[in-house]
Amino acid sequence: MTNPVFHLPGALEIYAHVAAGETLTVKRFQELLLHPDAYQRTHLPGHITGSAFIVSPDLEKTLLVHHAKLNRWLQPGGHCDGDQDVTRVALREGEEETGLHTLRLSTSAIFDLDIHPIPQRKDFPAHDHYDVRFLVYGDPSEPIVVSEESFDVRWVALSQLEDYSKEESVLRMRTKVLHSKIS
């Protein structure tokens, strides 16, 4: 049995009810999806991306990549390149950027949404990433592979996350994980 293809517009409707404080963010995603090229990296001023907030099964650690272009510790993720199944994008990027082959979604529901600016590079103007994030389980005993897109990949205790990232959206995902442990 295969998983049904992820449907972002429907998932956004569900997320809007679960994350009532993120109404404006959801609305911005919905407006972007009105454009037929929203899943293409060439669509400016922004496009849909997918990422995986990878956690250990005990919810004590997360797997971060030290992103080479941005020089920041972040969750793995990347461009959809036309693929509208953002869960597939998140899992693909997670595997490509960490080398983990046994990644599995916690659920196909959206875990977090974020819209963040990407600075201009010589070959591409500044733009926004409309990032759809999923909670993904990974095995800390599985060998890690550092891709050419990163300086490093490392399991980090959630309690020490601030030592690696001050990104509000990364810290927000940690808060969501910790909240899920006590719910």
CATH number at residue 97: 3.90.79.10
Please check whether residue 119 lies inside any domain of the structure. Answer: yes
Please check whether residue 1 lies inside any domain of the structure. Answer: no
pLDDT at 182: 59
d(CA 131, CA 156): 22
Q: What is the pTM of this model?
A: 0.94
pLDDT band (50, 70, 90) for residue 109: very high
Question: Which helix (H) or strand (E) segment is 169 a member of?
Answer: helix 168-182
> How many domains are there within the chain?
1
Average pLDDT of the chain, as a whole number: 94
Please check whether residue 141 lies inside any domain of the structure. Answer: yes
Greater model confidence, 78 or 179 = 78
Please check whether residue 3 lies inside any domain of the structure. Answer: no
Identify the domain containing residue 101 by its residue range. Answer: 8-182
pLDDT at 129: 98
pLDDT digits (tens, 9 = 90+) for 23-69: 999 999 999 999 999 999 999 999 999 999 999 999 999 999 999 98
Question: How many CB atoms within 10 Å of residue 154?
Answer: 16
